Chains A and B, each alone.
Chain A
Amino acid sequence: GESVGLHLPTLSVQEGDNSIINCAYSNSASDYFIWYKQESGKGPQFIIDIRSNMDKRQGQRVTVLLNKTVKHLSLQIAATQPGDSAVYFCAENRPRLIFGQGTTLQVKP
């Protein structure tokens, strides 16, 4: 079956450090992936996406890496700030979004 899983339910980092949130997917035919951030009381907010013909994509302070060989996706956040504290979901879009369970990022001051 299809599933998208995140490795850790909670990640705690020091403010200013880099954060890495991981995600594994099981369907090798997946060709599009998205990362979302969800703050308390809000809906998921689009962060960045990547297509399967790419290995890396960069945004503002964020980088997504895709390793199709091991079916692994990661989100890197540079210089993590308190405002980055949220739940992060990876999602596979084929055509409906299949979400992982989410990783809670806690930023320590």
Chain B
Amino acid sequence: DSGVTQTPKHLITATGQRVTLRCSPRSGDLSVYWYQQSLDQGLQFLIQYYNGEERAKGNILERFSAQQFPDLHSELNLSSLELGDSALYFCASSPGQGSNQPQHFGDGTRLSIL
């Protein structure tokens, strides 16, 4: 158990809809990262928050947004969903904002767009 909690585990919805994925980091970790994993693209970094502020942005679409709340949990919002958004979405956390430390992953949310 990594200590990172993601909900829901599975989500099925239709094109054009909006969903929210939730992540609780490990106790004491201030950074939260979001990743997308698909069969053809592998694990892709989306965005990082540190102590409530955005720290780094990767290949995140404009239809996607995220935030980190004062209690350090984070939410990833996906809107105007398309079939190609079907993927596993992972959250990871680490103590600091820097690069030279392990990130610990949750077990992901599997998003299926019908």
- Asked if B16 is at the interface (CB within 8 A of a chain A CB), the reply is no
Please indicate the chain A residues that have their CB under 8 angstroms from the CB of B104 in the complex: 46
Task: Give CA–CA (A21, B43) in the complex, Å.
Answer: 18
Tell me whether A43 and B105 are in contact (CB under 8 A): yes
Task: Give CA–CA (A99, B90) in the complex, Å.
Answer: 13
Partner of B42, one of A42, A93, A99: A99
Tell me whether B42 and A96 are in contact (CB under 8 A): no
Please indicate the chain A residues that have their CB under 8 angstroms from the CB of B103 in the complex: 34, 46, 93, 97
Task: Give CA–CA (A102, B42) in the complex, Å.
Answer: 8
Total chain B interface residues with beta-carbon distance under 8 A: 25
Stretch at the interface among B64-72, B79-87, B94-102: B94-102
Q: Can you offer 21 A-B residue contacts whose CB atoms are under 8 A?
A: A32-B100, A34-B102, A34-B103, A42-B108, A43-B4, A43-B105, A44-B43, A45-B2, A46-B103, A46-B104, A49-B102, A51-B100, A93-B99, A95-B48, A95-B97, A96-B45, A96-B99, A97-B45, A98-B45, A99-B43, A100-B42
B residues neighboring A (CB under 8 Å): 2, 4, 6, 33, 35, 42-43, 45, 48, 56, 58, 90, 92, 97-108
The 3 closest A-B pairs by CB, nearest first: A95-B99, A43-B105, A96-B45
Kindly list 7 other residue pairs between chains A and B, CB separation below 8 angstroms, not including A46-B102, A51-B100, A96-B58. A42-B107, A43-B105, A44-B43, A45-B2, A95-B97, A96-B45, A99-B43
